[in-house]
Chains A and B, each alone.
Chain A
Amino acid sequence: KAGVTQTPRYLIKTRGQQVTLSCSPISGHRSVSWYQQTPGQGLQFLFEYFSETQRNKGNFPGRFSGRQFSNSRSEMNVSTLELGDSALYLCASTRGGQNYEQYFGPGTRLTVT
């Protein structure tokens, strides 16, 4: 069974631009969560989508948004990029429900210059 895939793996953007990251969950998984990882901060929860609906949301500004499609693939968008948005963005999938054992993709490394 294929794992969680994320594209692109690396991205360099300029301050003020916007970016879209993509995540394909494991087949059969309906929940996708997004996290931001920065040095010393661990993984900060952004949001979770289940059956195309946002089910949980973290404490990030409205510049961070996401969506999920009917095939469970998910995209995350960051508008008006700031230097502090440079981070590793990870997505994770589960079957749904209160399944805490999440399967992570390799992440997208975003650098904002």
Chain B
Amino acid sequence: DQQVKQNSPSLSVQEGRISILNCDYTNSMFDYFLWYKKYPAEGPTFLISISSIKDKNEDGRFTVFLNKSAKHLSLHIVPSQPGDSAVYFCALGDSWGKLQFGAGTQVVVTP
């Protein structure tokens, strides 16, 4: 049973515009939320995170939003750049330190 869902397998966005990636979850037990980025032939790299006591965290062009009542997490990338083309995974951490990952969203930034 998939508790973490990224319903959009792919996203195409023009350079300079905003990329919005979404992640929904079903269980309230998660208390830490992260986004990872993955390029081909490389392992995922940590991008940005947010704890359950916050609703927004910003780091440069990347902002993560958490809506706990809706069990919804999103990542905004503004402005999108060609180097942002990658697969993005949301990951949710429980109190035992385990991470559950979504299936990923392939982002393609076009010139």
A residues in contact (CB < 8 Å) with B: 4, 33, 35, 40-45, 48, 55-56, 58, 90, 92, 97-107
Residue contact A106 to B99, C-beta cutoff 8 Å: no
Residue contact A56 to B43, C-beta cutoff 8 Å: no
B34 interface contact, C-beta 8 A = yes
**Cβ–Cβ < 8 Å partners of B32 in chain A:** 98, 100
Residue contact A103 to B46, C-beta cutoff 8 Å: yes
Number of B residues, CB within 8 Å of A: 26
CA distance A26 to B104 in the complex (A): 25
Query: What are 25 of the A-B contact pairs (CB < 8 Å)?
Result: A4-B43, A35-B101, A40-B9, A41-B103, A42-B4, A42-B101, A42-B104, A43-B89, A44-B101, A45-B100, A45-B101, A55-B97, A56-B98, A58-B98, A90-B43, A90-B44, A92-B43, A98-B93, A98-B95, A99-B97, A100-B49, A100-B93, A100-B97, A101-B49, A104-B43
Residue contact B97 to A48, C-beta cutoff 8 Å: yes
Residue contact A45 to B42, C-beta cutoff 8 Å: no
Q: Which of A48, A98, A107 is most buried by chain B, counting CB atoms within 10 A of its CB?
A: A98
Residue contact A106 to B41, C-beta cutoff 8 Å: yes
Q: Contact check: which of B49, B98, B102 meets A45 at CB < 8 Å?
A: B98
**Cβ–Cβ < 8 Å partners of A102 in chain B:** 46, 99
